[in-house]
Amino acid sequence: MNVFVIGVGLIGGSMALDMKAMDDAVLIFGIDHNPVHLDEALELGVIDQKATLEELEKADVVIVSIPVDATVQVLPKVLDAVHDNAIVFEVGSTKQNICSAVEDHPKRRNFLAAHPIAGTEFSGPKAAIKDLFRGKTNIICEVEKTAFKLQERALKIFTDLGMRIRYMDPKSHDKHIAYVSHLSHISSFMLGKTVIEKEKNERDIFDMAGSGFESTVRLAKSSPAMWAPIFEQNKENVIETLDEYINNLEEFKQLMLQDNFRAIYQEMENTNHIKEILNGIIINT
Amino acid sequence: MNVFVIGVGLIGGSMALDMKAMDDAVLIFGIDHNPVHLDEALELGVIDQKATLEELEKADVVIVSIPVDATVQVLPKVLDAVHDNAIVFEVGSTKQNICSAVEDHPKRRNFLAAHPIAGTEFSGPKAAIKDLFRGKTNIICEVEKTAFKLQERALKIFTDLGMRIRYMDPKSHDKHIAYVSHLSHISSFMLGKTVIEKEKNERDIFDMAGSGFESTVRLAKSSPAMWAPIFEQNKENVIETLDEYINNLEEFKQLMLQDNFRAIYQEMENTNHIKEILNGIIINT
């Protein structure tokens, strides 16, 4: 089985590693606009050989794992190039723009929109790891628009990788993911910015920051090339969540200014409920 | 050595566990306003026996590990009760109010203000764990006001627990810790609140939230009884950090409204610098 991975980074690279390990018949072709990454992917054994978009007609499976703005550009060309029995899926963090970009494509039935909720704050082929997807959720959008036989091939891959499948429409996906993923990244980036701006003498940060700080700013290590396009493509939902977040912070500040620490206690106690939600995540993933 | 732990929770309990393990001559007396916690601490072997404030004259070491508002109330009484050779230290997350509360106390020289930068989001005696402090920073304030012999006894304990010592004045401590600890807790609590408010149907959170969300809201599990008094005692510094954080979020939102995703990319790239800072934390701790 010829598997083309377009974008040999964290997600595409990790999928390639698992697929190769599972099936000797899998041959991984890597395509990347960054020649250094492509060389690294080959050296690390993430891919079996380098390839170009011109070779896509050989593909049985194409994984498009590049920033969402690039996906919108590249995906129609990929569909143009593949043969009628190829399945093309992408793994981006937004779904509406991507699904719209190919809705009228003659090979729409060769495409499946997926979002594996898996990843780390790292990127590039060196970030690719085995078993990244085991126990994680994979959200699939507009499954009914994909040819049944090709759905099957993609779902077998996802199941083999260990993922739980959830189906959702692109609009709902983008709305909910803004809350549980996109907003976390902004809160983390801006927290990092606030502290870096203030603490010019960084030794103070080194010495006084503990695991709590580390946990809340971890996502501020994420790749801007990946995240700026996500915020752009999910602009309306992200602005809505950001508005609500800023309002909640402003209210918290007002309570402090009013010395209403009883209300602040109550706010925190109500939000402690997140414990059960997080337990849910841990149990489920 | 008779060690009295006032507040047999995460910090006091974890110190008790390590001190007992290090020295057979250590006898841990537990004091807590919550009788259930005191029973649990005894059952779990965190303390050797229950005690009351009336027995403090027997103490060689007193660890005050209770919420910072209670510390301000209890600390002068503890100093009243101990003998002249006892060392009393507290471990709170604010320092100015606590140091002020005992600055004119006749037994000021028996007191040492400390802040071990260690902890988890959990609380109570069940949260107490061994080796919590190894490799962590302990910030000591106004060391010169503590009797030299008693400084030595406290520092030996901290060193035995594996902590690195840093000295700082209470005002600087409270200012910096607002940035690298207190603000993280507010950002996390308000992020949790924003998502819970929005996602009434929690299955959507369970299924779509990944490790990034979990990391950023982890601190929202923290104890309100511990944190409301911290915010109250460090009100001015916390409001300042919160103002800057809200301004940064507001600016980010404005850039999005202006479709200036180039500037957003730049913001994120600048903040990626947090990687090196976090590496510093990991290396140092």
pLDDT tens digits for range A53-89: 999 999 999 999 999 999 999 999 999 999 999 999 9
Tell me the average pLDDT of chain A.
94
Three-class secondary structure of residue B114 per DSSP:
strand
Residue A280: which pLDDT band, with cuts at 50, 70 and 90?
A: low
Residue B206: which pLDDT band, with cuts at 50, 70 and 90?
A: low
Question: Is A196 near chain B, with CB under 8 Å?
Answer: yes
What does the pLDDT average to over B1-20? 97
Distance from CA of B220 to the nearest CA of A (A): 6
What does the pLDDT average to over B166-188? 95
What does the pLDDT average to over B243-252? 98
Res A178 pLDDT > 50:
yes
> DSSP class of residue A181?
I
B238 contacts A256? CB cut-off 8 A: yes
Res A277 pLDDT > 90:
no
CA-closest candidate to residue A32, choices A63, A58, A2 = A63
Contact predicate B237/B178, CB 8 Å: yes
Question: Is A213 near chain B, with CB under 8 Å?
Answer: yes
Question: Is B260 near chain A, with CB under 8 Å?
Answer: no
Phi then psi dihedrals of residue B30, to 5 deg = -105, 135
Q: How far apart are CA A242 and CA A237, in angstroms?
A: 9
What does the pLDDT average to over A147-166? 97
Question: Is B36 near chain A, with CB under 8 Å?
Answer: no
Domain ranges of chain B: 2-169, 173-284
pLDDT tens digits for range A189-245: 999 999 988 876 666 666 788 888 999 999 999 999 999 999 999 999 999 999 999
Tell me the average pLDDT of chain B.
94
- Beta bridge pairs of residue A111: A88
Residue A285: which pLDDT band, with cuts at 50, 70 and 90?
A: very low
Res A273 pLDDT > 80:
yes
Q: How far apart are CA B93 and CA B72, in angstroms?
A: 12
Residue B205: which pLDDT band, with cuts at 50, 70 and 90?
A: low
Query: Can you give the pLDDT at residue B278?
Result: 76
Q: How far apart are CA B174 and CA B241, in angstroms?
A: 12
Query: Can you give the pLDDT at residue B284?
Result: 41
Phi then psi dihedrals of residue A120, to 5 deg = -135, 180
Using a CB-CB cut-off of 8 Å, the residues of chain A touching B231 are: 256, 261, 264
DSSP secondary structure letters along B16-37: HHHHHHH-TT-EEEEE-S-HHH
Query: Can you give the pLDDT at residue B276?
Result: 82
**Does residue B238 or residue A273 have the better pLDDT?**
B238
**CA angle, residues A18, A24, A25, in degrees to nearest 5:** 110
pLDDT tens digits for range A38-50: 999 999 999 999 9
By CB neighbour count within 10 A (0-12 exposed, 13-18 middle, 19+ buried), where does A276 fall?
Answer: exposed
- By DSSP bridging, strand B61-64 and strand A49-50 are unpaired
Phi then psi dihedrals of residue B210, to 5 deg = -115, -160
Q: How far apart are CA A110 and CA A228, in angstroms?
A: 28
The CATH code of domain B173-284 reads: 1.10.3660.10
Which of A219, A239, A267 minimises the CB distance to B253?
A: A239
What does the pLDDT average to over A111-117? 97
CATH 3.40.50.720 fits B2-169, yes or no: yes
Which residue in chain B is spatially nearest to A261 when comparing CA positions? B228
Using a CB-CB cut-off of 8 Å, the residues of chain B touching A227 are: 268
Which of B194, B198, B281 minimises the CB distance to A214?
A: B281
Residue A283: which pLDDT band, with cuts at 50, 70 and 90?
A: very low
Question: Is A204 near chain B, with CB under 8 Å?
Answer: yes
